[in-house]
Each structure stands twice: as C-alpha cells, then as structure tokens.
C-alpha cells in the first residue's frame, strides 16, 4: 500500500453534529475507539481558522500515530504537516494536487460511479471514497449510490477504497457484505454521545467481515479466534446446539444475544456446561 498504511475505520470531522462539544474532544474519543485515519472537513471557514484547526488535529492524530488528511485544501494540508489531502470531483485534478503535495503525500478522492473510480485509479489516487452508500445529511441532495456501486468497486478497483455515506453500526454489515473492507463514518461517530464505543463496534464489524483472528482468553486458554459474533465462535467449536452457558468478561450472555454479541480482542470468555456431580 506504499505510503498509505492499512486502515479500516476512517472518521471525518463534522462539528455541526456535536454542538456543545469541541472538535478535538470528539475526535479524540473516535481515536480512542480505534479510528485509524482522520480527515478534517470544514467547508465554510476562513483559511486562518482552518489552519488552526488543522494544526490542532495534526497534533492530536500524531499522538495516536494515525494519518491525518485535510479536505479540499492542499496548501492547508502542507502548512499543517498533514499526511495528505482529500479531493471532491469538483475540486482540482489529481495531477495538480500531486504536483503541489509531492509524491510522498496521500491523495484521496470521492467517487460516485465506477467511471470516476477507474479514472481516480488511473490518475494515481492513493485511495478513493465510494459513496454515498446511503443518503446522508453530510452530502444533502446527492443521490445514494447504494451497495451495488460498492460491489462494482470491490470487483474492479485495486487501490485502497473506503465506503462512505450514512454508514452506521446498524447498516455496516450490508456494506461489508457488498465487499467493503474499510468504512468511513461521520455523523454516526461524531454525532454519538459515545464516539469511542461506536468506533469500537464498527471496527469489530469490519474485523469480522475480514475474518481477522483476534486474541481472546477462552476457558483459561489464550486462543486466536476468528472475528465475528459469539454465535459463530461457539458454532466453530461445535457447541451451538449443546446446553452450554457463555460468560463474557464476567457477565452471562443469554443465548438469544449470542448473535448480536461481537467477539472482541482481549475478551475473557467462559463456556460451561453440566457434568456429573453430586
């Protein structure tokens, strides 16, 4: 992936979604929850204020060792020592941005149709945004591209790409099922009262879709298990139809909650059953 490190959860600022809380506070929560690339998007701000925010967010993302992207403005990105810039279809061409940013910076671009995706790949974009998958308040008026576009990109595009637009933990599995392996969220994360837990949930869903192995402690043993639901994990041990009880981090998970409970790295799981005894 060259200059781009692998990422799975891309979070973009959206101050209109969290009145009363500062951008840095909310983004720090997202980072704590596992956001592994962050973009500053401010459409209507004087350059000086934008630069100030960019510098602050640069400092924060550096502390978390996470790449930082600035929307629309290569000059601000450079001045703030961002890792890259993100362009819209109406912004400057990729070639021009590349000239200004240099070869080592990341250039990403939003795409809404497969032709745009192909063009971006051909023109040397480092990654593309694919969306809006669902209707979103962040891009009002834009027609949702639906998961069929996600599927097209999954089939054809070889540079890194991230699905975006109206994605929440409730619909993320649909997008992942269409072939996405990276998700971007705005309002679902920054508009939440608990951005960290939304990020954790999305990361778990992505890890499950990717079939990643996660370390857990299972009946006292360190095990590497496939990310997914508790139901899938128990099934993988051939125990789903047995009369067993699952206890996750000290709390019993009723059988009807196995399907909606995600396997998380570092969790302690006990699976018990009845044996002969007096």
User: Which residues are marked as active site?
Assistant: 41, 110, 139
Using CB under 8 A, pick the residue from 155, 220, 222, 266 that binds another protein.
220
Q: Could you say which residues in the range 82-111 bind another protein, by CB under 8 A?
A: none
Q: Which is nearer to another protein, 211 or 278 (CB)?
A: 278
| Cα end-to-end distance, the chain, whole Å | 60
Q: Which is nearer to another protein, 1 or 245 (CB)?
A: 245
Task: Mark the segment that binds another protein (CB under 8 A) among 2-10, 137-145, 151-159, 240-248.
Answer: 240-248
* Structure tokens that stand for 81 in this block: 């020592």
Using CB under 8 A, pick the residue from 148, 221, 256, 266 that binds another protein.
221
Which residue reads 């099934």 in tokens?
Answer: 235
20-59 mask for another protein (x: CB under 8 A)? Answer: ----------------------------------------
Task: Mark the segment that binds another protein (CB under 8 A) among 17-25, 81-89, 136-144, 237-245.
Answer: 237-245
Contact 134, 143 (CB under 8 A): no
CB of 244 to another protein, least distance (A): 6
- Under rule CB under 8 A, residue 218 binds another protein: yes
- Under rule CB under 8 A, residue 222 binds another protein: no
Nearest 10 degrees: CA dihedral of 212, 107, 45, 90?
-110
CB of 88 to another protein, least distance (A): 51
Q: Which is nearer to another protein, 16 or 236 (CB)?
A: 236
Contact 110, 104 (CB under 8 A): no
DSSP result, 175-232: HHHTT---EEESHHHHTSS-HHHHHHHHHHHHHHHHT-EEEEEETTEEEEEESSBHHH
Phi, psi of 235 (to 5 degrees): -60, -40
List the one residue out of 271, 221, 274 whose CA is nearest residue 248: 271
Estimate to the nearest angstrom the gap between the alpha carbon of 136 and the chain centroid.
Answer: 16
List the one residue out of 192, 185, 246 whose CA is nearest residue 219: 246
Tell me whether strands 9-12 and 84-87 are parallel, antiparallel or unpaired: unpaired
Q: Which is nearer to another protein, 20 or 238 (CB)?
A: 238
Q: Which is nearer to another protein, 43 or 273 (CB)?
A: 273
- Under rule CB under 8 A, residue 270 binds another protein: yes
Binding residues for another protein, total number by CB under 8 A: 25
- Under rule CB under 8 A, residue 272 binds another protein: yes
Q: Could you say which residues in the range 244-263 bind another protein, by CB under 8 A?
A: 244-245, 247, 250, 252, 254
- Under rule CB under 8 A, residue 274 binds another protein: yes
- Under rule CB under 8 A, residue 243 binds another protein: yes
DSSP result, 71-92: ES-HHHHHHTT-SEEEE-TTS-
Q: Which residues bind another protein (CB under 8 A)?
A: 218-221, 223, 237-239, 242-245, 247, 250, 252, 254, 270-278
């Amino acid at each position: 992936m060259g200059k781009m490190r692998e990422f799975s959860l891309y979070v973009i600022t959206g101050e209109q979604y969290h009145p009363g809380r500062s951008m840095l506070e909310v983004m720090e929560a997202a980072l704590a929850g596992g956001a592994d690339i962050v973009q500053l998007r401010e459409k209507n701000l004087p350059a000086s204020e934008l630069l100030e925010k960019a510098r602050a967010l640069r400092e924060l993302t550096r502390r978390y060792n996470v790449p930082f992207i600035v929307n629309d403005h290569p000059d601000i990105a450079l001045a703030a020592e961002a890792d890259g810039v993100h362009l819209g279809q109406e912004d400057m061409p990729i070639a021009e941005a590349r000239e200004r940013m240099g070869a080592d910076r990341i250039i990403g671009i939003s795409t809404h149709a497969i032709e745009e995706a192909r063009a971006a790949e051909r023109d040397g974009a480092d990654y593309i945004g694919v969306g809006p998958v669902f209707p979103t308040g962040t891009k009002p008026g834009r027609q949702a591209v639906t998961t069929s576009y996600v599927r097209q990109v999954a089939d054809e595009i070889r540079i890194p790409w991230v699905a975006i637009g109206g994605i929440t933990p409730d619909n993320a599995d649909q997008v992942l099922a269409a072939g996405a392996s990276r998700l971007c969220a705005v309002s679902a994360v920054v508009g939440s009262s608990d951005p960290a837990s939304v990020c954790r949930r999305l990361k778990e869903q992505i890890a499950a879709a990717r079939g990643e192995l996660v370390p857990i402690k299972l009946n006292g043993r360190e095990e590497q298990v496939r990310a997914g639901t508790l139901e899938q994990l128990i099934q993988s041990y051939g125990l789903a139809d047995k009369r067993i009880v699952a206890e996750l981090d000290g709390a019993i998970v009723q059988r009807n909650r196995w399907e909606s409970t995600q396997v998380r790295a570092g969790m302690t799981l006990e699976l018990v059953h009845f044996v002969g005894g007096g």
